[in-house]
Structure 1
Amino acid sequence: MRRKLQLFLLLTLAAAISACSNGAKPEPAKTASGEASDGIVVSIKGEPAKGFDPAFDWPGLGEALFQSKLVVFDKEMYLVNDLAVERAVSEDGKELTVKLRDDVLYSDGVKFTASDVVFTFGKVRETTSYIDLSNVKEVVAVDDHTVKFVLEHPDSTFEYTLTRIAIIPEHAYGPDYAQHPIGSGPYKFVEWQKGQKLVVEANPLYYGKKPNIGKVTFLYLDMDASFAGAKRGEIDIARVSMDYIGKEIPGYTQRSIETMDIVSLSLPTVRTGTYEMDGMPIGNDVTADRAIRRALSYGMDREGISRDALSGGTRPVYSHNPGMPWDNEANVIPNADIDTAKRILEEGGWSDSDGDGIVEKDGIMAEFTLLYTPGEVERQAVVLGVQESARKIGIQVNLEAKVWDEISKQKLIYKEAYLFGKGADSPFEIYTNFSSDRIAKGTTNSPSYKNEIVDDYLNKAIQTTDQDEAMAYWQKAQWDGEHGANALGDSPFVPIVAFHHTFYIKDGVEIGDFRPAPHRGAYWITVENIKDWVKR
């Protein structure tokens, strides 16, 4: 993969560094605990287009910095309280009562109350569609430190939704809030130069663990410019692409951080013309055959794709939720098991009768098109690896790059294979990917997958008020010993690899451990443990 160093971004880097240091070492800042600490410079990808307003998907799945959430994840991906101190679900599963901390102040000194929670959820419902709150009938402030969520129907995953929404102070909200946010988070806003940098300082009124770093400057840089800045010693934590894996910079340690930013093949499970969308026939006569899908999953050389095509900057995965509490250990199968893949095809009635290396069945060749969006060399490397793996078991995969607008307009994800981004920090993704209720609704169940046994497990997982019971149902939906949506079962998706994030960390800087970052949330989750960072 050839790198192109962009002069404009390098000039931006130089200007940003100059702006935050004025040609000298940054002035020591005070932490919230009052101890002196040098500031820190971080290059990051993912500048929020609409600013720092939680009503417009800030921070998505990551760290809010300026605001706080009712509930967050620990590093093992279990839910823990943040602004909440106690959560109770009613017997019928339709009410969640949350007791709130009474010691929380916003960075402007105003006290946090339950009315701010009511305001925030109302604003999210009003301004954005990034979170589905259609099941929320009402949000009620019982008193200043108690809020009640009333649902239309039971939903065991609703508490995970709380991890997506940072709380907005009602008194401070206005037209320019996104550009000058106020909140109860560990840091307070100082400056934002769009396209260049964000400067934050430790919030002295923060209720939780005080940050060790008093001032943080985030630079929005191309990854080549990020590498160049680290090479000059101007960046403390530099995010780079996998092109740089193994390249050393004196005074820095390279670190690879695992994520759940997964790429996965979506394979239509119904035959062409099974149903229509906007007058267009949906389905694929090749991938509709279960044997084709299962053979692809078994024959996929995930390890080879990760090692050879992606420089080791990924890891092989066999589900969309590897290592999560709701994952099923039966999801993991042998890598590149060509013998099993060929046996599955043979038992399914596929054979190479004409000796051309491609199997056929009932006059249909095992050949289909795999679509992917252009512009990302990593995804192109993945689809080339998929094509090679498929060919080894007698399946011809033709590759075609198309922009998303064209794919969406023509409903192509419902009739061709497509390389999707998957991986979430909620088991609700299992429901959206595999529930027949999601067929032709959005893009999640793009394979049009339906299995009544799986549906039953999914519905039970949603409706129970017992989280342990829900976990068991999520796992059974993937595989119960006889039925399921994984490679042992129906395999509507073929998960391939999860991308890692590569950083250069300057000597003397420690950034601790992270929880796995999901697809779409990978950028700002990198700073989720920012309170634990240390610069010596």
Structure 2
Amino acid sequence: MKLKKHLSVMVTIALTAGILAGCANTGGEAGSGDQKQGNDRKSSNELIAAVTYEPEEGFDATESGHGDMTRVFFSTLFQRNKELGMENDLAESYEVSEDRLTWTVKLRQDAKFTDGENLTAEDVVYTYEIAKDSGSSIDLTMLDSVKQVDEYTVEFKLTHPQSTFIEKLARVGIVPKHAHKEGFSDNPIGSGPYKFVQWDKGQQVIAEANEDYYGDVPSIKKLTMVFMDDDAAYAAVKAGEVDIASIPGSFAKEEVPGKKLLELDSIETYGVAYATEKPGKTTSDGHPIGNAVTSDIAIRKAMTYAMDREELVEGILEGYGAPSTTGLEKMPWLNEETIIKPEEDGNLEEAKKILEEAGWKDTNNDGTIDKGGVEAEFSLLYTDGKYRQELGLAYVEVAKQLGIKVNLEAKTWDTIIPEINSQPVLYGFGSGDPSEIYNLYSSKTLGVGVPWNNSGYYQNPKVDEYIDKALQSEDEDAALEYWKKAQWDGSAGFSPKGDCAYTWFVNAGHLYLADESLDIGTPVVQPHGGRALYNITEWKWK
């Protein structure tokens, strides 16, 4: 990762940091009025941060993780520490049975909801039962039952052993059973470091410090999170209307008086998920499965080896990032044998050779290679977001040099989903949870859970076997061997060495422009989407 002429905050592997942007529709230097407002915020320990994502469905922790919002308003049983390990949050201790099917968690007894009521085992049981039944984006299909043992002890029963179950216990925010009623998502009650004050839909969320929080009470007493896109956010932080904003690399070159650039290490990667099945089948919803072109491994491998990732890092990320060929760089479960070496990267000649040996040739001289009467043409779908369009355009250009015609199409998730199993999709990923490998590559996730779980319908029995063994291992350390073998065991795997189910591009650093007087402590490494607010209790004005 390149360090430019700015403050660079580099932290060691850990999970979770945040999705900050900025607020305003004017640019330029901060005026005297903005300067005064900024000083007033500092003296009263208030902060304005812009966020690029507003959860349209509201802030109910039983329905989704909500990224930063979970950590601001809610508590979880466990949380990731800054070394990527697990530590207690609401949990005081836990035990796992010998058959690894029963997890017993003892709760701390000093946690209260922001309405003053005690948080007890009854609330935890209620939360997990509702989250399991609600179709939450957090996969709880392995949870058979959850019950209250006593006022501060909870017992979870699993349908099968899962080494990564503790990850689920670190993602679900606990809601109060007595107050979880209609309208909760618009005015949530949690036990996190901040109390929800108001939500002005389409504009902002206002929160105030929870003085009864069982952990470190925040120094920032009023936190306002405004919803804005990158351009508006950048203008706002420059003008002093917000105090911190997430910015793309293209904005990082400009020196802004009174501001500092923060570069937070991240595990966010971008890549293309291929439809690996041949066409002909449909999902239960009637959506087509498979693609006549990308089902050929030669197409997938050729594109994977043809991409010049250093060029992507320099040209699109402005140097703030690193090449990614596996999507798992920086993770302890990475099989290093699967990394494409720098000298092999961007090798157009090797890519052309792969295609030619597989029978892809331009037999009708129309500029597009073909095989068995099938033209090498497909669509690449993407949604709005940092770097996606630029990466998509780079992919299209490289494909063109190989005689492959790619039609880049910007869509919303609603319009992508009907095609998600039949056309390649450009995604952002990045998680400190190894079970993400299960979500992306196991055939058991086909048609289960969120639509992007194994959207390409990738299937390999050997990969399934290793993933199952990893999940059934005693703990995450014991599972490492099998996560690595699922990538490549010498003859099979989902990585570029094997079936090449994805073409990965880059690992993107996360950049923030902030007031030079703002101290954000030591943030944890950011996953996909960011989690900067996860350490909000450390933030303070200097």
Partner Cα separation in structure 2 for residue 20 and residue 144 of structure 1: 51
> How many residue pairs get matched?
512
Partner Cα separation in structure 2 for residue 21 and residue 128 of structure 1: 46
**1:389-436 residue CA offsets vs partner (Å, 9 max, x unmatched):** 223344343334455444433xx3333322233333322221122112
Amino acid at match of 1:267: Y
SS of residue paired to 1:115: helix
Residue correspondence of structure 1 range 76-475 to structure 2 within 5 A? 76-273=83-280, 282-312=289-319, 314-333=321-340, 334-350=344-360, 359-362=369-372, 364-365=374-375, 367-373=376-382, 375=384, 378-409=387-418, 412-441=419-448, 442-475=451-484
Amino acid at match of 1:345: L
SS of residue paired to 2:154: strand
Shift in CA distance, 231/514, structure 1 to aligned 2, threshold 3 Å: same
Alpha-carbon shift at residue 298 of structure 1 (Å): 1.2
Choose 168-177 or 88-97, whichever is displaced more: 168-177
Alpha-carbon shift at residue 359 of structure 1 (Å): 4.7
Choose 148-157 or 353-362, whichever is displaced more: 353-362
**1:244-264 residue CA offsets vs partner (Å, 9 max, x unmatched):** 121121011122334444332
Shift in CA distance, 185/358, structure 1 to aligned 2, threshold 3 Å: same
Amino acid at match of 1:533: W
Partner Cα separation in structure 2 for residue 207 and residue 138 of structure 1: 28
Alpha-carbon shift at residue 142 of structure 1 (Å): 1.0
SS of residue paired to 2:185: coil
Determine if contact 1:77/1:324 at 8 Å carries over to the other structure. Answer: no
Partner residue in 2 for 1:4: none
SS of residue paired to 2:437: helix
Amino acid at match of 1:529: N
SS of residue paired to 2:178: helix
Partner Cα separation in structure 2 for residue 472 and residue 403 of structure 1: 38
Higher relative contact order (CA 8 A, sep 6+): 2
**1:287-345 residue CA offsets vs partner (Å, 9 max, x unmatched):** 22222211211111222223224444554322333212322223321431334333433
The equivalent position to 2:40 in structure 1, one of 2, 8, 26, is 26
Shift in CA distance, 274/217, structure 1 to aligned 2, threshold 3 Å: closer
Determine if contact 2:61/2:70 at 8 Å carries over to the other structure. Answer: no
- TM-score (normalised: structure 2): 0.84
SS of residue paired to 1:178: helix
Partner residue in 2 for 1:489: 498
Fraction of identical pairs, as percent:
38
SS of residue paired to 1:56: coil
Partner Cα separation in structure 2 for residue 329 and residue 304 of structure 1: 22
Shift in CA distance, 446/225, structure 1 to aligned 2, threshold 3 Å: closer
**1:1-34 residue CA offsets vs partner (Å, 9 max, x unmatched):** xxxxxxxx74799xxx99999968437788xxxx
Partner residue in 2 for 1:531: 537
SS of residue paired to 1:518: coil
Gaps of 5+ in 2: 1-22
Partner Cα separation in structure 1 for residue 429 and residue 139 of structure 2: 18
Partner Cα separation in structure 2 for residue 48 and residue 18 of structure 1: 34
Choose 462-471 or 343-352, whichever is displaced more: 343-352
Shift in CA distance, 417/233, structure 1 to aligned 2, threshold 3 Å: closer
Amino acid at match of 2:481: A
Determine if contact 2:35/2:240 at 8 Å carries over to the other structure. Answer: no
Alpha-carbon shift at residue 439 of structure 1 (Å): 3.4
SS of residue paired to 1:138: strand
Alpha-carbon shift at residue 62 of structure 1 (Å): 5.7
Partner Cα separation in structure 1 for residue 479 and residue 360 of structure 2: 38
Determine if contact 1:369/1:400 at 8 Å carries over to the other structure. Answer: no
**1:175-232 residue CA offsets vs partner (Å, 9 max, x unmatched):** 3433433332122233433333333232222222332333322222333332222222
Determine if contact 1:63/1:524 at 8 Å carries over to the other structure. Answer: no
SS of residue paired to 2:49: strand
Amino acid at match of 2:237: A
Amino acid at match of 1:378: Y
Shift in CA distance, 340/114, structure 1 to aligned 2, threshold 3 Å: same
Determine if contact 1:309/1:385 at 8 Å carries over to the other structure. Answer: no
Partner residue in 1 for 2:17: none
Choose 340-349 or 487-496, whichever is displaced more: 340-349
Partner Cα separation in structure 2 for residue 193 and residue 399 of structure 1: 36
Partner Cα separation in structure 2 for residue 132 and residue 310 of structure 1: 32
Gaps of 5+ in 1: 1-8, 31-37
Alpha-carbon shift at residue 355 of structure 1 (Å): 7.2
Amino acid at match of 1:503: Y
Shift in CA distance, 447/183, structure 1 to aligned 2, threshold 3 Å: closer
Determine if contact 2:105/2:153 at 8 Å carries over to the other structure. Answer: yes
Measured on the aligned residues, the alpha-carbon RMSD in Å equals 3.2
Amino acid at match of 2:40: P
SS of residue paired to 1:171: coil
**1:428-466 residue CA offsets vs partner (Å, 9 max, x unmatched):** 221122112233444422222222211110111122223
- TM-score (normalised: structure 1): 0.85
Partner Cα separation in structure 1 for residue 407 and residue 257 of structure 2: 44
**1:148-168 residue CA offsets vs partner (Å, 9 max, x unmatched):** 101122222221111221111
SS of residue paired to 1:141: strand
Partner residue in 2 for 1:39: 46
